[in-house]
């Protein structure tokens, strides 16, 4: 066995603890040296992996949970690709680009997806785990000789492959790209597609805007268009669906499929499993422990690969990556989900609100006790305006809001550290513990621990990453003793596994508190996973929006997807929603039946669809 010892130096605080890791280490106690404070890491703990026996005592004794130690098979050392330093993250294997094919990458945040893209793009030279030596690309080629990856890396090193990499954090573009959208894109148009892509991606409204003024969704489409305008041999897209609504996600998926040059290498990292399924031919799964190590699986067909990921077992590797499988427990015909007590909790009249030139009309409706109401619709159609009406931040111009006098817990769409009155995560949890719910065993396990927030207790709120801040904000909203919970876009910035963990946490709190929750999200898989009924928002974005009353899942999803023009089927093994190929047999059949989302299909039909 080989040991991988990782220390989170943001959490390691030797000046505030009693050095439990050093004092209780059995190797140290017997006269050896497996862990000590070292000047090389700023006077913090340093673990010698060759001396460590992997007993895990220091892991349990560390009061700040800064240490992780895992024992891995020796065989993995043959495929080690990169390590960031001593006691730092270690990457095993890489996804293998396939000529002329779209390869999706799925896995937790912090397991090496972006690192792999940077290596395959030639932006980072892998050190083969030898961080203390100078490794060249010749060494890398020798290491991969005889493997399927060698041919691609040889072309990359010899400049036979030009790579275009659409980065994950598109907001960085504002800092470095100056000028107006149209001017910038015309300068990089190497394929003569600028006018065609401008029309397909509906960029007319922002064509004369400065890049620095673009919203997150506009920046996403801008960077995708910039990548497709380049003439390259390999195209890498890191989280292309972030910031986009469902309609736009399906649009950019089709655009990527249609406009990437034939016979190119294409890699796509995406957390929306429906979109990843739609855009990919094959998938590589990365598994491991976030921030500690990551291992890339072999290539699977996209349908089978995503199912293996959700079910938690990789047959080619004979590896179990999850204790419990993730299954979507909705019947193929989608009857209305069981609500224990069909008691009306709140009701509202027809409402109207005008705001900055935008007008929202809301149909009268009601919600049951213990119900989760999902909210669907494109960006700029009034979803957040409706949530703000319920939260009491806005007053309707017509009608009234039924939440006056009720306790509201609101997780807004856009969150910032300065929104919270506390300095640290510990201070926030301590304050909220007065309400009682945060102290319950089920909340500590199903929300705090499963979201990994117990590891952030010592962290300042203004130092949290986007994903960490999102999970913190969700936990804060769920921890409050409220009558109505309003959760706006809980899946933003977090990976597919954490999205499902968040969905389970929302559903768990809802079941035990027996209140009502309104959840806005663009990931259909998440709405499908937790909602009892859905409200559908239609209209003209930025001009006028119309919100339906809460509809049963079947009617609501059919209404929404008919407007988008896309059909979904159910995966026979996991129950997850899958997008049908436009014009395929199932797509035509479901549209003819008026069933865009829930339909029982035969295995033969699914086999035909997947061909």
The pLDDT of residue 442 is: 82
State the Cα–Cα distance between residues 149 and 157, nearest whole angstrom: 12
* E strand segments, 140-206: 163-166
Q: Looking at residue 339, what DSSP letter applies?
A: -
Phi-psi region of 565 (alpha: psi -120 to 50; beta: other; left: phi over 0): left
* Token couple for 477: 């909203």
Please report which confidence band the pLDDT of residue 152 belongs to, taking 50, 70 and 90 as the band edges.
Answer: very high
Please count the residues of the chain.
611
Taking all residues of the chain, what is their mean pLDDT, rounded to a whole number? 89
Q: Tens digit of pLDDT for each residue in 530-567?
A: 899 999 999 988 889 999 999 988 899 899 999 888 89
Task: Give the whole-number percent of the chain exceeding pLDDT 70.
Answer: 95
* Token couple for 125: 């030279």
The pLDDT of residue 335 is: 44
Q: Compute the CA torsion angle 48, 54, 55, 61 (nearest 10 deg).
A: 60
* pLDDT (mean) for 570-583: 84
Q: What is the DSSP string of 428-444?
A: HHHHHGGGSGGGSHHHI
Q: Tens digit of pLDDT for each residue in 156-173?
A: 999 999 999 999 888 888
The pLDDT of residue 450 is: 87
Q: Tens digit of pLDDT for each residue in 286-344?
A: 999 989 999 999 999 999 999 999 999 999 999 999 888 887 765 444 444 555 557 88
Q: Is residue 203 within 8 Å of residue 219, measured between CB atoms?
A: no
* pLDDT (mean) for 252-261: 94
* pLDDT (mean) for 125-144: 93
Phi and psi (nearest 5°) for 588?
-70, -40
Q: Tens digit of pLDDT for each residue in 408-427?
A: 999 988 788 888 889 989 88
Residue 381 scores a pLDDT above 70: yes
- Map residue 561 onto helix, strand or coil: helix
Q: Is residue 555 within 8 Å of residue 251, measured between CB atoms?
A: no
> HSE on the CB side for 416, CA within 13 Å?
2
* Token couple for 415: 């969150």
More confident residue, 213 or 27: 27
Find tokens 């240490």 and name the residue. Answer: 67
The pLDDT of residue 605 is: 55
* pLDDT (mean) for 257-278: 93
Considering Cα of 321, then 325, then 328, then 333, what sign does the dihedral take? positive
Q: Tens digit of pLDDT for each residue in 41-61?
A: 889 999 999 999 999 999 999
Q: Tens digit of pLDDT for each residue in 83-121?
A: 999 999 999 999 999 999 999 999 988 899 999 999 999
State the Cα–Cα distance between residues 88 and 445, nearest whole angstrom: 27
Q: What is the pTM of this model?
A: 0.84
The pLDDT of residue 417 is: 84
Residue 448 scores a pLDDT above 70: yes
The pLDDT of residue 604 is: 53
* pLDDT (mean) for 584-607: 76
State the Cα–Cα distance between residues 26 and 17, nearest whole angstrom: 19
* pLDDT (mean) for 121-144: 94
Residue 517 scores a pLDDT above 90: yes
Residue 229 scores a pLDDT above 60: yes
The pLDDT of residue 338 is: 57
The pLDDT of residue 21 is: 96
State the Cα–Cα distance between residues 96 and 252, nearest whole angstrom: 23
Q: Looking at residue 424, what DSSP letter applies?
A: B
The pLDDT of residue 331 is: 44
């Amino acid at each position: 066995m080989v040991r991988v010892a990782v220390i989170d130096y943001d959490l390691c605080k030797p000046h505030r603890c009693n050095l439990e890791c050093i004092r209780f280490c059995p190797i140290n106690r017997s006269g050896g040296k497996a862990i000590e404070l070292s000047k090389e890491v700023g006077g913090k703990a340093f673990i010698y992996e060759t001396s460590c026996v992997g007993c895990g005592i220091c892991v349990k004794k560390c009061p700040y949970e800064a240490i992780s130690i895992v024992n891995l098979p020796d065989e993995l050392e043959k495929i080690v690709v990169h390590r960031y330093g001593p006691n730092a993250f270690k990457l095993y294997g890489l996804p293998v680009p396939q000529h002329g094919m779209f390869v999706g990458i799925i896995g937790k945040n912090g397991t090496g997806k972006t690192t792999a893209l940077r290596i395959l793009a030639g932006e980072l030279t892998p050190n083969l785990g030898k961080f203390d030596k100078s490794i060249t690309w010749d060494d890398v080629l020798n290491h991969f000789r005889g493997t399927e990856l060698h041919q691609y890396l040889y072309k990359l090193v010899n400049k036979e492959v030009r790579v275009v990499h659409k980065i994950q954090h598109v907001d960085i573009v504002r800092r470095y790209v100056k000028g107006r959208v149209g001017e910038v894109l015309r300068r990089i148009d190497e394929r003569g597609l600028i006018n065609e892509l401008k029309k397909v991606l509906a960029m007319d409204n922002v064509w004369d805007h400065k890049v620095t003024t673009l919203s997150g969704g506009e920046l996403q489409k801008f960077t995708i268009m910039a990548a497709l305008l380049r003439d390259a041999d390999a195209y890498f897209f890191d989280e292309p669906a972030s910031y986009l609504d469902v309609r736009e996600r399906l649009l950019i998926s089709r655009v990527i499929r249609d406009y990437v040059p034939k016979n190119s290498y294409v890699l796509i990292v995406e957390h929306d499993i429906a979109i990843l399924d739609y855009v990919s031919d094959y998938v590589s799964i990365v598994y491991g422990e976030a921030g500690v190590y990551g291992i890339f699986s072999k290539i699977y067909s996209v349908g089978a690969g995503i199912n293996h990921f959700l079910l938690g077992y990789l047959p080619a590797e004979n590896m179990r990556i999850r204790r419990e499988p993730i299954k979507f427990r909705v019947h193929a015909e989608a009857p209305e989900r069981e609500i224990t007590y069909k008691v009306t909790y709140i009701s509202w009249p027809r409402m109207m609100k005008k705001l900055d030139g935008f007008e929202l009309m809301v149909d009268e409706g009601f919600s049951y006790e213990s119900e989760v109401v999902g909210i669907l619709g494109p960006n700029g159609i009034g979803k957040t305006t409706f949530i703000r009406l319920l939260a009491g931040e806005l007053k309707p111009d017509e009608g009234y809001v039924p939440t006056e006098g009720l306790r509201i817990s609101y997780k807004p769409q856009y969150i910032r550290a300065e929104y919270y009155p506390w300095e640290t995560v510990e201070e926030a949890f301590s304050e909220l513990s007065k309400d009682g719910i945060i102290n319950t065993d089920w909340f500590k396990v199903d929300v705090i621990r499963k979201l990994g927030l117990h590891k952030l207790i010592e962290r300042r709120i203004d130092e949290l990453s986007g994903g960490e801040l999102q999970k913190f904000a969700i936990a804060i909203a769920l921890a409050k003793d409220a009558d109505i919970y309003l959760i706006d876009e809980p899946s933003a910035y977090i990976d597919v596994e954490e999205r499902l963990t968040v969905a389970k946490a929302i559903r768990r709190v809802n079941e035990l508190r027996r209140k009502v929750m309104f959840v806005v999200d663009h990931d259909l898989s998440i709405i499908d996973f937790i909602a009892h009924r859905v409200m559908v928002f239609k209209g003209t974005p930025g001009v006028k929006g119309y919100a339906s009353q809460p509809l049963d899942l079947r009617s609501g999803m059919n209404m929404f997807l008919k407007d988008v023009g896309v059909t979904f089927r159910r995966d026979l093994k996991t129950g997850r929603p899958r997008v049908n190929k436009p014009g395929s047999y199932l797509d035509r059949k479901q549209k003819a039946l008026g069933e865009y989302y829930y339909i029982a299909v035969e295995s033969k039909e699914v086999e035909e669809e997947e061909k």
